[in-house]
Amino acid sequence: MSGFFQLDEQKLQAMESKLAGVMPLSMLERGWDYYRREKVLSVQVMDGNAIYAAVRGTDVYAVTLDADDFAFSTCTCPYNGYCKHMAAVYYAYCNYIGASPDEVHNRLLYGGELFTEEGEKAGSREGERNAAGAVEAEPPAAEWIPDMERKHGDVWRQCRHSLHPLQSVLSSLKGTSKTWDEGLRRLHWLHAILFVIEQAERAYSATDSYSRYYYEMAFARMTEPWINHYHEMAAALEPGRMEEREKQGLRSLLAIFHERDMDREHQLHRWETLYFSLWEKLVAFPDWRSLEERWLEGKLEETKRSGRTGSFYPMSLAFLAFAERRDEQAVELLAETAFNRTALLACDCALQRLEEDDWSKLEGWIGYLYGGLAVERKSRAFGPFLNMCRLADIRQPENPAWQRYLVSFLPYSYSALTEHWLDRRQYTEWADLQLLLGIAPDEIDAQAVREIAKAAPSVLIPLYHQAIDGSIRARNRQGYKQAVKLMKKLERLYKAEKQQEKWSRFVDGIVRKHQRLRALQEELWRGKIIT
């Protein structure tokens, strides 16, 4: 980023308000994607009234955002109108001046507290008054979802290749409650997000199995900011201070999860995490907690009596047990479920105990994950498990169990283990692993080899011996050339260790052992290994 000027606050507010009014939602999303992928190459403010930037797309485009009159903003891309490059530049400029691009993005998408042309925050008024001067009454919480379903329940059918039609639905739904009291507005927005996420699930379920992986990636990326905003708003709920209308809104929100099949197959999102954002707020209040706990226990008994299998109810009760530090009971509840369904929750619990340095409880979670991963190695919990073992080894180095877990999953844990030993400067263990798996030096990251060559060159010597023998066993000219190339690097290591005599003995041994391989002898001579 370059430039020493900034727009004054009033111009920035006016630009954001105009941008929200004229920029298509799809362009805001694509611009956000461009910004996050660092496509904006430079940003500067000239004369205090315009933002100039370069953005890399199909080509490099020049963008101008006019702060005096946004209608004069331009981009050199072929698109005729307000484009994604303009949106990306605005996000990059906000980051440049220290504003939060995530907050700006949420405001632009969700119709939050946007600035008006006069600098007043939209949505900051207590309520819109009708012609008679009375505040328009909000509909009861029980009507929110049915009303959304009536108005927008079929929009998912338009989402054949993209979820962009749902973005306008979300903005519209949020706009209907932007003048409500803050607590009630937050609850309505939480309903709106759950509604569009369910619409996304319907669109995802309608995709064919051959294209499902592509749609899963594309759809999940689109809904990510919605879900993040949901979690942020759920974290701000205060069940103990709610008025009756807000309590009704919270009960309505819980009813969405109660009425939904939370164990549904082929879901796009982890719905249990959406529920846990609420459950986490309720466990601190006995009245709320006891009601929800009784419901969960009743549903769990019901599923057991019917012979059905499910994960959501034991997961939710395990989450409660974890919150109350009854970790053993939480692990027992998760043990009743399908491991792949609940492993990520176990990872979340284990990570929190790791951050607390509660080693006894952490060992219980790690043991549970280890047992499951030994059978289900393709689980999405495998990577988080390895990372936790690495972090635990750093924070509790006197406990050898953490490295044993990493070693036990070889060769699948090779990358994590080698990176960990390099970070810990355990070069001998690192080299032994390469020897065990037959990894040649030229197959290892060059930066890592250079680092070890400076810090502990002796540990590399056996690796080069093994690789040289392997190249010679190829019994072809290319293999011999590779052997000579490796021997030159090996010579430098011997010199670094001041072991010139050992190097000479090694070369003599190679020459005598393979004296009948004329092609090898020629390559040794050409490479000046022998004279």
- pLDDT tens for residues 310-331? 889 999 999 999 989 999 999 9
Who contacts 359 (Cβ-Cβ below 8 Å, separation ≥6)? 396, 399
What the block records as the tokens of 508 is 């003599």
Segment among 105-114, 391-400, 417-426 with least mean pLDDT? 105-114
Angle among Cα 13, 15, 17 to the nearest 5 degrees reads 70
Judged against a pLDDT cut of 50, whether residue 136 lies above it is answered with no
pLDDT over 70, % of the chain? 94
Is residue 133 exposed (0-12), middle (13-18) or buried (19+ Cβ within 10 Å)?
Answer: exposed
Kindly state the average pLDDT of the residues 99-118.
64
Judged against a pLDDT cut of 90, whether residue 483 lies above it is answered with yes
Same domain for 46 and 146?
no
Contact by Cβ (8 Å): 32, 167? no
Query: Could you give the dihedral angle defined by the CA atoms of residues 421, 425, 431 and 432, in that order, rounded to the nearest 10 degrees?
Result: -60
Who contacts 385 (Cβ-Cβ below 8 Å, separation ≥6)? 347, 366, 369, 370, 373, 405
Same domain for 69 and 146?
no
Who contacts 408 (Cβ-Cβ below 8 Å, separation ≥6)? 370
Residue 327: other Cβ atoms inside 10 A? 22
Structural domain contains residue 23: yes
Same domain for 157 and 250?
yes
C-alpha pair distances (Å), 327 with each of 322, 400, 480? 5, 23, 59
Looking at 18-59, which runs of residues are DSSP E strands?
Answer: 40-46, 50-56
Highest mean pLDDT among 119-128, 135-144, 388-397: 388-397
Same domain for 262 and 143?
yes
Judged against a pLDDT cut of 80, whether residue 502 lies above it is answered with yes
Same domain for 64 and 163?
no
What percent of the chain is helix, strand and coil (3-state, nearest 5)?
A: 65, 5, 30
- Predicted confidence at residue 127, as pLDDT, reads 38
- Predicted confidence at residue 511, as pLDDT, reads 92
What type of residue sits at position 461? I
- Predicted confidence at residue 122, as pLDDT, reads 40
- Predicted confidence at residue 110, as pLDDT, reads 62
Of 230, 251, 282, the position where a domain reaches its end is: 282
C-alpha pair distances (Å), 189 with each of 20, 145, 193, 297, 505? 19, 11, 6, 29, 77
Q: How far apart are CA 272 and CA 276, in angstroms?
A: 6
Same domain for 144 and 267?
yes
Which pairing describes strands 60-66 and 74-75: parallel, antiparallel, or unpaired? antiparallel
Same domain for 176 and 258?
yes
Structural domain contains residue 261: yes
Structural domain contains residue 199: yes
Same domain for 96 and 195?
no
Kindly state the average pLDDT of the residues 93-121.
66
What the block records as the tokens of 464 is 């080069």
Same domain for 105 and 144?
no
- Predicted confidence at residue 119, as pLDDT, reads 37
Segment among 115-124, 339-348, 518-527 with least mean pLDDT? 115-124
* Backbone φ, ψ for residue 238 (5° rounding): -130, 80
Contact by Cβ (8 Å): 3, 43? yes
Same domain for 143 and 276?
yes
Kindly state the average pLDDT of the residues 2-24.
79
Judged against a pLDDT cut of 80, whether residue 11 lies above it is answered with yes
Residue 111 pLDDT level (bands cut at 50, 70, 90): low
Q: How far apart are CA 10 and CA 118, in angstroms?
A: 8
3-state secondary structure of 401: helix
Residue 519: closest CA among 490, 466, 478: 478
Structural domain contains residue 167: yes
CB burial of 267-293 (b: ≥16 within 10 Å; e: otherwise) equals ebbebbebbbbbbebbbeeeebbeebb
Q: How far apart are CA 438 and CA 191, in angstroms?
A: 56
Structural domain contains residue 245: yes
Q: Could you report the per-residue pLDDT of 261-301, keeping only the tens digit for each? A: 888 877 888 898 999 999 989 988 988 999 999 999 999 99
- Per the structure, the complete domain to which residue 511 belongs is given by 427-526
Residue 306: other Cβ atoms inside 10 A? 9
- Predicted confidence at residue 27, as pLDDT, reads 85
Structural domain contains residue 131: no
Which pairing describes strands 50-56 and 40-46: parallel, antiparallel, or unpaired? antiparallel
- Predicted confidence at residue 102, as pLDDT, reads 79
Of 282, 307, 341, the position where a domain reaches its end is: 282
Same domain for 94 and 144?
no
Structural domain contains residue 317: no
Q: Is the model's pTM score more than 0.75?
A: no
CB burial of 69-103 (b: ≥16 within 10 Å; e: otherwise) equals ebeebebebeeeebbbbbbbbbbbbbbbeeeebbe
User: Could you tell me the sign of the dihedral formed by the alpha carbons of 6, 11, 12, 18, in that order?
Assistant: negative
The secondary structure of 191-237, three-state, reads HHHHHHHHHHHHHHHCCCCCCHHHHHHHHHHHHHHHHHHHHHHHHCC
3-state secondary structure of 149: helix
What type of residue sits at position 355? E
Of 263, 282, 301, the position where a domain reaches its end is: 282
- Predicted confidence at residue 523, as pLDDT, reads 93
Residue 47 φ/ψ region, left for φ over 0, alpha for ψ in the -120 to 50 degree band, beta for the rest: left
Residue 25 φ/ψ region, left for φ over 0, alpha for ψ in the -120 to 50 degree band, beta for the rest: alpha
Same domain for 191 and 270?
yes
Residue with tokens 């000219």: 477
Q: What is the total count of domains within the chain?
A: 3
Structural domain contains residue 130: no
Residue 3 pLDDT level (bands cut at 50, 70, 90): very low
Contact by Cβ (8 Å): 393, 366? no
Residue 67 pLDDT level (bands cut at 50, 70, 90): confident
Judged against a pLDDT cut of 90, whether residue 237 lies above it is answered with yes
